[in-house]
Amino acid sequence: MKILVCISHVPDTTSKIKFTNNQTEFDSNGITFVINPYDEFGLTRAMKIKESTGATITVVNVGAASTEPTLRKALAIGADEAVRIDADPKDGSTVARLIADYAKEQNFDLIVTGRESIDYNGGIVPGMLATYLDIPFVNACIGFELEGTNAKAVREIDGGKETLEGTLPMLIAGQKGLVEEKELRIPAMRGIMMARKKPLSVIAAGDTRVSTTVVSFELPETKAACTMIDAGNVEQLVELLHTEAKVI
């Protein structure tokens, strides 16, 4: 069985977001980049499948050479090979098309992505990629079990969950629940050493046309000072929520 895990290279969750060039470019100065957390849940699920079935895991990223440490980290966690599609992606549909062009030739049985990246939060790549490859798509996947080629996938719905059944190939877009936080793997020294020897191939990007472009970025307005209420006077909070905020 062949599994493809799509890896997005994103600012770590503690990053303070800043923009430059007249608010038209993300300022990566001082930013630490990591595997997108949603993708890491997916990669960990894929590792468990690999350990029980002997599947091989390919990780793919669309990005410049600067994203290679993130792919190496995925190899250190346990992926078998990495592919970098050499482009500076500007748009989710471009990323989906480039990965589809690559994956079409490879006949992956299972494609795993995160439900979205924590930087652009588009949630665009998984569903578009599945559609370009003409395979079923499970979004917000919080559980996945395989028996041969029969899969049972659980997806989050508003206020609950739904269990789906189908046969491979398919694409799942994961989040926490697919594995638990404590199951995430920190690469050991041995894994890091081995990752250096694993293949990381770079392939040229084909069609990089975009359908959307960033015009500008904005930061949220800073909040006015917080109104402090004495713990002995909780009634004042209710009064303010009623008369000032007008929410109750």
Q: Give residues 52-81 in contact with another protein (rule: CB under 8 A).
A: none
CA-wise closest residue to 46 among 12, 72, 81 = 81
Q: Closer to another protein at the Cβ: 136 or 187?
A: 136
**Smallest distance from the beta carbon of 196 to another protein, in angstroms?**
29
C-alpha–C-alpha distance, residues 227 and 237, integer Å: 9
Q: Give residues 162-221 in contact with another protein (rule: CB under 8 A).
A: 162-167, 170, 175-177, 180-182, 210-220
Question: Beta strands 56-63 and 150-157: pairing type?
Answer: unpaired
Q: Tell me if 170 sits within 8 A of 151, measured CB to CB.
A: yes
Residues in contact with another protein, counted by CB under 8 A, come to a total of 85
From 46-54, 74-82, 149-157, 198-206, give the range in contact with another protein by CB under 8 A.
149-157
Query: In Å, what is the CA distance from 29 to each residue of 16, 19, 54, 154?
Result: 10, 10, 41, 39
Q: Which of 65, 189, 204, 231 binds another protein (CB under 8 A)?
A: 231
Question: Beta strands 200-204 and 81-86: pairing type?
Answer: parallel
Q: Which of 111, 127, 144, 205 binds another protein (CB under 8 A)?
A: 127
Q: Does 31 bind another protein (CB under 8 A)?
A: no
Q: Give residues 78-117 in contact with another protein (rule: CB under 8 A).
A: 92-93, 96, 115
The type of residue at 162 is E
